[in-house]
Amino acid sequence: MVSSNDSGKSYHLACTGDALDTANAHSTPGDITFFGSCFCPFVQRAWVALEYLGIDYHVYEVDPYKKPAELLEVSPKGLVPALKLNHYNAPRALNESTVILEFLEDVASGSTQKSLLPPVSDPYARALIRLQCDHINRTLVPSFYRYLQAQELDKQVECAKEFVESLIGLVKLFERAEKESESNVGLWGDGGVLSLADVMAGPWIFRATNVLPHYRGFALPSGERLGAYVARLVAHPAFKATCSTEQLYLDSYERYAHNRPNTSQVANAINSGRGLP
């Protein structure tokens, strides 16, 4: 059933389900304070990486629309995710999800020995993963929001095609990496190893299995391999550990689905045709 009525529900302020259990397990202050919000896919990117790479962290959930002083200290725009690095004197900070992912990759290379990229000895395979990541940021993520925020039926149909094309484009890049690389290049290859691209795309692919069907009647493109990939992705322990229950996402994304004014900086950017903040 496609939801058509705006009930006025707002975004949630606390995790539920598996994500709540994970947040509670990381409630003790430590070297890294992870500022996040339960509904935000950009936050989930970083959270999955923290879990998968085995890096210790402390969850600090904030309301990014109220922009508390603690958040502004580490993220000048008041956006999440953000990290506060407490082992420095004085503490230092990082923001922007893609920068945080690269930082966590570097941290893990010297500590946990886990990685989201093929080995440095295979630079071509690493470049293929980064091509996938570029497609995700430039094409898949913006097309998701354009589709969800579209109000007129003809615009929704147009944006649905665009989003499907972005998914098909990502599949082609996965297939290219599988064909041209001897390294393990992520979950597409069914090796159980997350890639940087899996982590970067995962939150929006996940929302394409709950938010988009509910508000737009969306169904993923047919294809056994894509369906199997999505199933592996959402069931992966590091990803599953960061997921709340479905109702949290349906409630939190109602404002996007009805394109309420000033829903977020992301929504405003999509409406104005600007790049994402």
- The confidence score (pLDDT) of residue 8 equals 94
> What CATH number does domain 123-272 carry, 3.30.499.10, 1.20.1050.10, 1.10.10.10, 3.90.850.10?
1.20.1050.10
Sorted by where each begins, the domain ranges of the chain are 17-109, 123-272
Judge whether 17-109 and 123-272 match in fold.
Answer: no
What is residue 1's predicted lDDT score, i.e. its pLDDT?
44
Q: How confident is the model at residue 244 (pLDDT cuts 50, 70, 90)?
A: very high
Thinking of the domain 17-109, which architecture would CATH place it in?
3-Layer(aba) Sandwich (3.40)
Average pLDDT (235-248) is: 98
- Mean model confidence pLDDT for the chain: 95
pLDDT higher than threshold 80 for residue 187:
yes
Could you tell me what percent of the chain has a pLDDT over 70?
A: 99
pLDDT tens for each residue of 98-113? 999 999 999 999 888 8
196-215 pLDDT, tens digit per residue, is 999 999 999 999 999 999 99
Write out pLDDT tens, residues 70-89.
999 999 999 999 999 999 99
Cα distance between residue 95 and residue 116, in whole Å: 19
pLDDT value, residue 3: 56
pLDDT tens sequence across 24-56:
999 999 999 999 999 999 999 999 999 999 999
Give residue 227's pLDDT. 95
pLDDT for the residue numbered 192: 83
Average pLDDT of 182-208? 93
Lowest mean pLDDT among 80-84, 167-171, 220-224: 220-224
What's the average model confidence in pLDDT over 59-70?
A: 94
pTM of this prediction? 0.96
In the prediction, which pLDDT does 4 show?
Answer: 64
